[in-house]
């Protein structure tokens, strides 16, 4: 993991912060219910709870941004910016989506703003069919080395296909959550997943015949 995994994003202090909810501040397992407790405590002024949130998510956000930017330095800067934006906007967070979806959406928008002038993302046609989302493409690969090789191979895919596969299978988000992060409709998210899996299968088959 890049040194960005050790970064510390400090929450701004308030003149009279509310006392931390120690039960919330002690939550470290990453379940959505406990994360919501951390968020509530942070909304009440608990900087310690925000530090817990950073600790739970910073590596995941960094890895996601690294797959978008292909640059560890840019991913580190954008990870820092993502958490600062999240902290500043935390009072506006509502449970329409999970906190995980909300945070990844901020990361995605931060990356889009960063690359807006470069046309970094491919356009998705609106007249495609929509196969089912299917299985995780790494399910049939037994070893971690094989799975790591698969994700390295996925790096050759077009950016949106790579992003869709990572959100759905690398992060385990649902189709609805991944579509929300990518700001697209679920039907097109399924198209991206189908195309990405199909191309990966073709590459893997070609390698197996060598």
Q: Mean pLDDT, the chain, as a whole number?
A: 77
Kindly report the number of other CB atoms within 10 A of residue 74's CB atom: 16
> pLDDT per residue over 113-166, tens digit each?
887 755 554 444 433 444 444 566 655 454 555 666 777 888 888 989 999 998
Ramachandran region, residue 37 (left: φ > 0; alpha: ψ -120 to 50; beta: rest): alpha
Give the tokens for residue 133: 């989302």
C-alpha to C-alpha distance for 21 and 92, rounded to whole angstroms: 20
Asked if the 9-118 domain carries CATH number 1.10.1740.10, the reply is yes
Q: Does the model's pTM come out above 0.85?
A: no
**How much of the chain, in percent, has pLDDT values that exceed 70?**
69
Q: In 3D, which of 154, 143, 135 has the Cα closest to residue 202?
A: 154
Convert the pLDDT of each residue in 186-195 to its tens digit.
999 999 999 9
pLDDT score of 55: 92
Residues with Cβ within 8 Å of 188's Cβ and at least 6 positions away in sequence, in order, are 124, 126, 128, 130, 179
Reported as a single tens digit per residue, the pLDDT across 52-93 is 999 999 999 999 998 888 889 999 999 999 999 999 999 888
User: How many residues can be counted in the chain?
Assistant: 210
Fold of 144-208: Arc Repressor Mutant, subunit A (1.10.10)
Q: By the 8 A CB rule, do 110 and 85 touch?
A: yes
- Residue at token pair 């399910």: 139
Domain edges within the chain: 9-118, 144-208
CB 200 within 8 A of CB 137: yes
């Amino acid at each position: 993991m890049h040194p960005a995994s050790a970064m510390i994003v400090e929450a701004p202090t308030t003149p009279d912060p509310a006392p931390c909810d120690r039960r919330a501040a002690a939550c470290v397992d990453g379940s959505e219910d406990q994360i919501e407790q951390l968020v509530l405590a942070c909304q009440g002024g608990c900087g310690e709870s925000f530090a817990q949130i950073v600790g739970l998510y910073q590596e995941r956000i960094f890895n996601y941004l690294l797959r978008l930017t292909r640059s560890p330095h840019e991913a580190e800067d954008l990870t820092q910016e993502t958490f600062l934006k999240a902290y500043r906007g935390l009072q506006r967070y509502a449970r329409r989506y999970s906190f995980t979806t909300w945070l990844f959406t901020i990361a995605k928008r931060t990356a889009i703003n960063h690359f807006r002038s470069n046309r970094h993302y491919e356009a998705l046609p609106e007249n495609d069919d929509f196969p089912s989302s299917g299985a995780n493409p790494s399910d049939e690969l037994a070893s971690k080395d094989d799975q790591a090789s698969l994700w390295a191979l996925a790096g050759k895919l077009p950016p949106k296909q790579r992003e869709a596969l990572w959100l759905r299978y690398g992060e385990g988000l649902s189709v609805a959550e991944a579509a929300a992060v990518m700001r697209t409709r679920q039907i097109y998210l399924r198209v991206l997943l189908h195309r990405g899996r199909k191309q990966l299968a073709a590459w893997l088959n070609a390698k197996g015949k060598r």
